[in-house]
Amino acid sequence: MAKKKVIITCAVTGSVHTPTMSPYLPVTPDQITAEAIAAAEAGASILHLHARNPENGRPSADPNVFMQFLPRIKQATDAVINISTGGSSLMTLDERLAAATRAEPEMCSLNMGSMNFGLYPALDRFTQWQHEWEPQLLEATRSSIFKNTFADIEDILIRLGEGCGTRFEFECYDVGHLYTLAHFRDRGLVAGPLFIQFVFGVLGGIGADPENLTHMKRIADKLFGDSYSFSVLAAGRHQMPMTTMAAAMGGNVRVGLEDSLMLGRGELAKSNADQVKRIRDVLEALSLDVATPNEARTMLGLKG
Ligand code: KMH
Ligand code: ZN
């Protein structure tokens, strides 16, 4: 049997971190384009993308901003484009879906439950903000819910899945989200091969403990058998340890500045590609091979 390859996803900018936190966080369409292309060249076969207001770096759901980088990334790489439908917890569902319904990408994220979506713990230490909106947004996030009701999930599955042939990175922030995914499978709204992202270390979700990864995998094995692949992302300093553990357990990995601004202890990542190269080195040390974009497409049943 051919050896299973590891899919590296790179989440290039996200909506949690803000420009004051790192000068390397890509913000403008030019920066997002350059970072995404470099991450793909370093070995990422899936690029998970959000947009930001080019003027000030604030998370944006504007499809016109997405369209300033999506075609350029598509033209320069053969990586799978994965557009966020999570956006940020301050956006409405329609806002969150606007770019994906316009671009009809091969893949989108789909968040499997409503939750508090807290700051990654290390972010509390910033005080000298570059932009007034940054502390305001972080404060607003503290009192908002990241809303992903059953109706919202169904809406996304129908509009993007059935409507556009998009397949999903199912974001599961706790064990209950796996059961929610199984519920939609039982109703015939999703079918394998499923790509499940286990998310660790978001305040409000499951903690970044090794025991939680083994538990998530055990339950996913029970619910989905061989009709799924898992990937792991972990917030902040947990990124590299948890993705390394995932790879050793037969899983896939997600890195990128959306999930952590660091490369190692006390060291900011100077680019997304630095993190991709770092996890690639880990995979090589574990004698694991990295999947190309086309291999990822085959493994995940994407439309190509
Ligand atoms: N920010 C990550 C923890 C999404 O974009 O839909 C999860 C995420 C969600 O990437
Ligand atoms: Zn995201």
User: Tokens 């394998």 identify what position?
Assistant: 192
Which residue minimizes the CA distance to atom 9 of ligand 1? Answer: 86
User: Mutate which of 12, 111, 152, 206 to test ligand 1's pocket (most atoms within 8 Å of Cβ)?
Assistant: 111
Which range is least confidently modeled, 126-135, 158-167, 170-179? Answer: 126-135
d(CA 216, CA 197): 10
How confident is residue 4, by pLDDT bands cut at 50, 70 and 90?
confident
What is the atom index within ligand 1 of the atom nearest the CA of 50? 5
CA 211–ligand 2 middle distance (angstroms): 24
Residue list, CB under 5 A from ion ligand 2: 14, 84
Structure tokens at 53: 């207001």
What is the atom index within ligand 1 of the atom nearest the CA of 86? 6
Judged by its nearest atom, the ligand closest to the C-alpha of residue 86 is 1
In the predicted structure, residue 57 carries a pLDDT above the cut 60: yes
CA 238–ligand 1 middle distance (angstroms): 16
Judged by its nearest atom, the ligand closest to the C-alpha of residue 235 is 1
The pLDDT of residue 304 is 83
Which residue minimizes the CA distance to atom 7 of ligand 1? Answer: 171
The pLDDT of residue 30 is 98
In the predicted structure, residue 172 carries a pLDDT above the cut 60: yes
User: Phi and psi (nearest 5°) for 255?
Assistant: -125, -175
Architecture of domain 8-300: Alpha-Beta Barrel (3.20)
How confident is residue 121, by pLDDT bands cut at 50, 70 and 90?
low
The pLDDT of residue 303 is 85
How confident is residue 66, by pLDDT bands cut at 50, 70 and 90?
very high
ipTM of the complex: 0.96
Which range is least confidently modeled, 21-30, 75-84, 128-137, 279-288? Answer: 128-137
d(CA 4, CA 24): 33
Task: Confirm if 64 and 32 have CB atoms less than 8 A apart.
Answer: no
How confident is residue 120, by pLDDT bands cut at 50, 70 and 90?
low
pLDDT digits (tens, 9 = 90+) for 183-237: 999 999 999 999 999 999 999 999 999 999 999 999 999 999 999 999 999 999 9
How confident is residue 271, by pLDDT bands cut at 50, 70 and 90?
very high
Q: Where does ligand 1 bind, in terms of residues with CB under 6 Å?
A: 11, 14, 16, 84-86, 109, 111, 171, 199, 202, 258
In 3-state terms, what secondary structure has residue 8? strand
The pLDDT of residue 126 is 74
Which residue minimizes the CA distance to atom 6 of ligand 1? Answer: 86
Question: Which residues lie closer than 8 Å to 240 by C-beta, 6 or more apart?
Answer: 255, 260, 264, 278, 279, 282
In the predicted structure, residue 145 carries a pLDDT above the cut 60: yes
Query: For the purposes of burial, counting CB atoms within 10 Å of the CB of 253, is it exposed (0-12), middle (13-18) or buried (19 or more)?
Result: buried
The pLDDT of residue 3 is 79
The pLDDT of residue 46 is 99
In the predicted structure, residue 124 carries a pLDDT above the cut 80: no
CA 129–ligand 1 middle distance (angstroms): 23
